[in-house]
Homo-oligomer: A and B are copies of this chain.
Amino acid sequence: MNRISDATITRLSRYYRSLVHLETQGQEMVSSKELAKRHKVTPAQVRKDLSCFGQFGTRGLGYSVCQLKETIAHILGLHRIWKVALVGAGSLGSALISYKEFKRQGFHIVAVFDNDPHKVGKKRRGLTISDITKLPKIVKELDINLAVVAVPTTAAQSVVDILVKAGLKMILNFAPETLKTPPGVTIRNVNMAIELEALSYRLVASEMSRLDGKPKLSSI
Contacts and interface: CB of A to CB of B under 8 A. Distances in A.
Interface string A15-59: 011100000000000000000001110000000000000000000
Contact of A193 (B13, B195, B219): B13
A177 interface: yes
A145 interface: yes
Interface residues of A, number: 69
Contacts of A99: 91-92
A154 B95 CA distance: 19
B219 A187 contact: yes
Contacts of A204: 75-77, 80
A190 interface: yes
B188 A195 contact: yes
B95 A203 contact: no
B77 A198 contact: no
Number of copies: 2
Contacts of A102: 192-193, 196
A170 B95 contact: no
A203 B219 CA distance: 33
Contact of A219 (B39, B106, B184, B219): B184
Interface in A106-154: 106-107, 145-146
Contacts of A201: 9, 12, 75-77
Contact of A13 (B38, B80, B170, B198): B198
B82 A200 contact: yes
B94 A194 contact: no
A9 B193 CA distance: 12
B219 A186 contact: yes
